Amino acid sequence: CRAQNGEVLHEPTGRRARYGELAADAARIPLPDRVALKRPDEFKLVGTPAKRLDAPSKVNGTAVYGIDVRPPGVKIATLAQSPAFGGRVKSVDDSAAKAVKGVRQVVRLDDAVAVVADQMGAARKGLAALVIDWDDGPNARLRTQDIARELEQATLNPGPVAQSIGDADEAMARAATRIEATYQVPFLAHAAMEPMNCTVDVRKNGCEVWIGSQVIARVQAAAAKTTGLPLNKVVVHNHLIGGGFGRRLEVDGVVRAVQIAQHVAGPVKVIWTREEDIQHDMYRPYFFDRISAGLDGNGMPVAWKHRFAGSSVLARWLPPAFNKGLDPDTIDGATHLVYGLPNLRVEYLRVEPPGVPTAFWRSVGPSHSVFVVESFMDELAAAAKRDPVAYRRALLDNAPRAKAVLDLAAERAGWGEALSKRVGRGVSLQFAFGSYMAQVAEVEVSKTGAVRVRRVVCAVDCGTVVNPDTVRAQAEGAIIFGITAALNGEITVNGGRVEQTNFDTYQMLRMNEAPAIDVHIVRSGEPPGGMGEPGTSAVVPAIANAVFAATGKRLRKMPIDPAGLRAPA
């Protein structure tokens, strides 16, 4: 027998049966120890391009996102939350807001005020008319500089060991050359195009939620806890997501919407303004890294020590996974490197910034660690006076898949070909989320220090590929996301408040700034790896290393500061 087109075919007789017809009998058969799978040369669909079934509706506007739902009788609400982390409402004068045509009511919570109206325009006008006196609370003096200083101080002391190979201290002591550096990456917002929103109808005997979520079980649990209802009395309708990137793994917006809905008769859709979305995000953590290496007489690493401090999202999100002071997500990209390093020690120290909420962000731990590792690897190549690609290649004798993507990216990018003045190429290499990826970025740095990414070449071995179009799309989107972070991404805190407010102060990469992106997929029969995340973490160090190639200036802090890259007068 063989399976084909949803049926089991008995070839000697030509008899056919659909899977459903055989399911009951199949359930009674003991599971075999081994199953014969199709050989790759028998694949008909796996590995071939296929159009997405949801593409037409997304293009013509008929796709339904969370923000699109309109249950009968729904009211629209928007809100102002305490501008300072941990602040509270002292008093509110809502008389002018209630006078706005279309405003139905004002809901005051401990740390937020919402305006409920017939439509969003009226809700926003009512919100602007509120006079709120805030108590800024315990974090009123909090600044980014204070957080960075605390993280830096933390890295002066040992932390839990995430990985250890050989004896890094002894190897460092006998190294011919020692190189040290510190790196920093900032808080980052998710800034999804669809702002946070949630529609809720709370009744005495039940609660109904309409949302676009990455994890609806948590939505249901949060609504049940907030209302005090049993879990089976909460119904969640999940819809398309206009950008998640980890933000919609969180349920703070659900809790807020349920709190407001408890004061409203009938369903209410709570939509955050862009300002609320950016200033009350849950941010990619700020990290401070201290890294050093010892080189032998040929400039190759014999010792590698990496210690970093920052928030652990996993410790909050899934406490049992935070074990012995280590967060598997946070250390990802800093441990189990593709390179053959004989002596290595990686340490992580969990330091939570007071008041600042943190969350998973696209590419998670590697979003910071790959920038540090690959930038520092470039520093070692420069110290050894070696070509960055050749230097990495010399460390990959036991990593053939990594070597293959590195060679492919370099070849397709024209590595080694001459470039104009203040134009440079940079490379990065990583293993993350089960996929090997190399990227080469080509950048141009103007005399004023502005960086333009002209081209990105990405080579990836993500194992068996089902739909290559989807792999390319994920890589391209992730690269754009990472370029935004490298050039513009930074959330800063002053007086306990986020200083950025909208896309004028937290800028996205625009269409006319987007580079040419070439994605090359290595044919592989290995188990499938992830593709939604790696492109983001790989592109940031590739850009930083390209800037060094173009200007001779090393970038150890993100985002890129054009002032430090200006050409001499």
402-456 per-position pLDDT tens digit: 999 999 999 999 999 999 999 999 999 999 999 999 999 999 999 999 999 999 9
Q: How far is CA 387 from CA 393, 538, 562, in A?
A: 10, 19, 26
Per-residue pLDDT tens for 135-149? 999 999 999 999 999
**In this predicted structure, what is the pLDDT of residue 35?**
87
Picking from 517, 515, 522, the residue whose alpha carbon sits closest to that of residue 408 is 522
Q: Which residue has the higher pLDDT, 239 or 42?
A: 239
Give residue 379's pLDDT: 99
Q: Does residue 2 have a pLDDT over 90? A: no
pLDDT band (50, 70, 90) for residue 51: very high
Q: Which amino acid is it at 86?
A: G
Give which of 83, 79, 89, 81 is closest to 139, Cα–Cα. 83
| Span between the terminal Cα atoms of the chain, in Å | 77
Instruction: Give the integer Cα–Cα distance in Å for 422 and 444.
Output: 6
Q: What residue spans in the chain does CATH classification 3.30.365.10 cover?
A: 66-137+193-279, 155-187+284-565
Q: What is the DSSP string of 50-67?
A: ---TTHHHHHHT---BGG
Q: What's the pLDDT at 569?
A: 81
**Residue 229 CB partners (closer than 8 Å, separation 6+):** 206, 207, 223
Report, as an integer, the average pLDDT of 169-184.
99
Element (H, E) at 150: helix 144-154
pLDDT-derived band of residue 229, with 50, 70 and 90 as boundaries? very high
Question: Is a pLDDT exceeding 90 seen at residue 39?
Answer: no
Residue with tokens 């249950």: 71
The predicted-structure confidence for 95-125, as pLDDT tens digits, reads as follows 999 999 999 999 999 999 999 999 999 999 9
pLDDT for the residue numbered 353: 96
Give pLDDT, residue 17.
96
What are the tens digits of pLDDT across the range 280-312? 999 999 999 999 999 999 999 999 999 999 999
* Predicted confidence band of residue 543 (pLDDT cuts 50, 70, 90): very high
Q: What is the mean pLDDT of residues 245-261?
A: 99
155-187+284-565 is classed CATH 3.40.1350.10:
no
Mean predicted confidence (pLDDT) in 372-396:
99
Q: For tokens 């740095």, what's the residue? A: 445
> What is the pLDDT at residue 330?
98
pLDDT for residue 411: 99
Residue 482 is inside which H or E element, if any? helix 468-487
Question: Taking Cα atoms as reference points, which of 264, 238, 232 lies closest to residue 251?
Answer: 238
C-alpha atoms less than 13 angstroms from C-alpha of 68 in its C-beta half-sphere: 12
Q: In angstroms, rounded to a whole number, what is the distance separating the alpha carbons of residues 379 and 78?
A: 49
Q: Which amino acid is at 281?
A: D
**pLDDT number for residue 142:** 98
- CA pair distance 535, 411, nearest whole angstrom: 19
Q: What is the DSSP string of 378-443?
A: HHHHHHTT--HHHHHHTT-TT-HHHHHHHHHHHHHHTTT----TTEEEEEEEEEETTEEEEEEEEE
CB atoms within 10 A of CB 358: 21
Alpha helix segments (H runs only) across 228-287: 252-261, 274-279
Distance CA 509, CA 543 (A): 14
Q: Are 360 and 313 in contact (CB under 8 A)?
A: yes
| CATH topology for the 66-137+193-279 domain | Aldehyde Oxidoreductase; domain 4 (3.30.365)
Q: How many of the other CB atoms lie within 10 Å of CB of 248? A: 24
CA neighbours within 13 Å on the CB side: how many for 95? 1
Order of strands across the sheet with 177-185? 161-165, 344-350, 301-310, 287-295, 177-185
Residue 130, pLDDT > 90, answer: yes
pLDDT at site 38: 85
Gyration radius (Cα) of the chain, Å: 26
Q: Which of 386, 477, 485 is nearest to 427 (CA)?
A: 386
Quick check: helix, strand or coil at residue 340?
coil
Residue 562 preceded by cis peptide, ω within 30: no
C-alpha distances (whole Å) from 116 to each of 140, 229, 440 are 29, 24, 50
**192 and 180 in contact (C-beta within 8 Å)?**
no
Sequence-separated (6 or more) residues with CB below 8 Å from residue 232? none
Average pLDDT over residues 160-167: 99
**pLDDT band per the 50, 70, 90 thresholds, residue 37:** confident
DSSP E strand boundaries for 102-255: 103-108, 112-117, 131-135, 161-165, 177-185, 197-203, 206-211, 234-238
Q: Which two tokens stand for residue 206?
A: 């039940």
- State the pLDDT at residue 373: 99
pLDDT tens digits, 455-488: 999 999 999 999 999 999 999 999 999 999 999 9
| pLDDT at 5 (0 to 100) | 86
Cβ-count burial of 344 within 10 angstroms (0-12 exposed, 13-18 middle, 19+ buried)?
buried
* pLDDT for residue 204 is more than 90: yes
